[in-house]
Amino acid sequence: MPGAYNRAIGAIENLKQHGPDVNIVLNAIFSPEDPFQCLHTVELARKFNLYVKVQPLNQHPIFNKENYSTISSAKTIVSHQIQEVAAKLKKEKRVVNSKIFLDNIHNFFCKKEDLIFRKSPCIYGYYYIEIQEDGTIFPCLTGLDWQNGAKFSGSLKDLLHSDGYRHLLEKLKSCKACRDNYYICYYEPRINFPINNFLKEFFHR
């Protein structure tokens, strides 16, 4: 959209002026074809005293598998450039991603067999839920194909403790669906919770 960049900058300036106590976090897309692009967002964060959340380019429901395959197998991916940019991001105080997450961007694009949690049962749903606007509960959107959430009419506590929901969590332990994406909201919580995950991955680096 013509002028979109300048409008975004204008929106930041308005927020800084009229909401000085608001913490602003910019989203930066880390593209395997041109990883250096996301560093511009870091420059903006420094300039405006903001923060940056880095999201590697990956599959999303608005893309189909064919589109994703084209992205993930692009011949222009340069492994050492991805590592170089990830190393720069790890040193940036304005970047809110964990260093472990940033370390694994290279694995996601270039060496999936070494991607974090690849060999571990998925327990994401045991400490995370997403509640849709219609009240549907998802312990993991991708694991349930974005459409097979749990419906409930009673209390949330009753649902989470029900046999059916616990069976669903047990089933998701063997799910591998998030191997094709690297969503911040899937991986950062699993790095930090439970605490033994954080310690294991921290000392493994």
Alpha carbons 74 and 71: distance in angstroms, whole number: 5
Alpha carbons 8 and 136: distance in angstroms, whole number: 33
Q: Both 89 and 136 in a single domain?
A: no
Q: How would you class 184 by CB atoms within 10 Å of its CB: exposed for 0-12, middle for 13-18, buried for 19 or more?
A: middle
pLDDT at 154: 79
Q: Both 28 and 72 in a single domain?
A: yes
* 120 vs 48, higher pLDDT: 48
Whether 138 shows a pLDDT value over 80: the answer reads yes
Whether 70 shows a pLDDT value over 50: the answer reads no
Examine residue 11 and state whether it is found in any structural domain, yes or no: yes
CA 184 to chain centre: 1
Range of the domain at 56: 4-118+197-204
Average pLDDT, the chain: 85
Q: Both 24 and 68 in a single domain?
A: yes
Examine residue 154 and state whether it is found in any structural domain, yes or no: yes
Number of domains, the chain: 2
Q: Both 167 and 84 in a single domain?
A: no
Examine residue 40 and state whether it is found in any structural domain, yes or no: yes
pLDDT at 135: 84
* 74 vs 161, higher pLDDT: 161
For 147-165, write each residue's pLDDT tens digit.
888 887 778 888 888 998 9
| Terminal CA-CA length for the chain | 42
